[in-house]
Amino acid sequence: MPATHFYLLLDGHIRVVKNTTVGDQVIVLHIASGQLFGIAVALGKDEYPASAIAARECLTLSWPNELWAEFVDKYDGFATETYKVVGDRIGEMNNRLVELATRHVEQRVAAVLLRLINQAGKKVATGIEIDFPITRQNISEMTGTTLHTVSRLLSGWERDGIVVSKRSNITITQPHQLVLLSGVDG
């Protein structure tokens, strides 16, 4: 779609998805409250490079792209914060590419769950809950694997007491065990 506006997510959680040429959907990133999105203008793009889909109810502000230069000039720190957001997202994409190229599926799924609890984890009595609806299909789209593989892994981890997975809800009951499974150093 033509990029006409940029946005600030005040509350909620957004899934950023990209469709492949054969129609598969890939979740490329999640955006938490307080972050800019739809910032194609900052990237010099005329079209949005992906689609933003609400993972749960959202409240946003939007401005037409014509105001971008004015925001950069008028508000100290706006450009710096935007570049930081862009840099963080590029860093995350680089990490995900390395994971896809070098890690086993089990490690990728564990790493995604760790990323999600770092971005949107909420402490609950049984552990750390991902604070927006997330399905096994979503996880397969984030890790470059099949729904069957994600289901098999999560079922095994449930038997081992590492996670509790319900329809669209995942709680990590043993985060340290997930760190070990992810193969992440330190």
Instruction: Kindly report the average pLDDT of the chain as a whole number.
Output: 91
pTM comes to 0.80
What is the per-residue pLDDT for 186? Answer: 47
Per residue of the chain (186 residues), give pLDDT as tens: 899 999 999 999 999 999 888 888 888 889 989 999 999 998 899 999 899 999 999 999 999 999 999 999 999 899 888 989 889 889 888 888 888 888 999 999 999 999 999 888 999 999 999 989 999 999 999 998 999 999 999 999 999 999 999 888 999 999 999 999 998 764
What is the per-residue pLDDT for 111? Answer: 94
Q: Which domains does the chain have, with CATH numbers?
A: 5-100 (2.60.120.10), 104-182 (1.10.10.10)
Helices 105-120 and 78-102 pack at an angle, to 10 degrees, of: 160
How far from 32 is each of 36, 56, 65, 117, 138, CA to CA, in Å? 9, 11, 22, 12, 16
Question: What is the DSSP secondary-structure string of 77-133?
Answer: THHHHHHHHHHHHHHHHHHHHHHHHHS-HHHHHHHHHHHHHHHHEEEETTEEEESS-
The string of pLDDT tens digits covering residues 121-150 is 999 999 999 989 999 999 999 998 999 999
**Tokens of residue 104, six digits:** 């086993």
What is the per-residue pLDDT for 156? Answer: 96
Q: What share of the chain has pLDDT > 90, as a percent?
A: 67
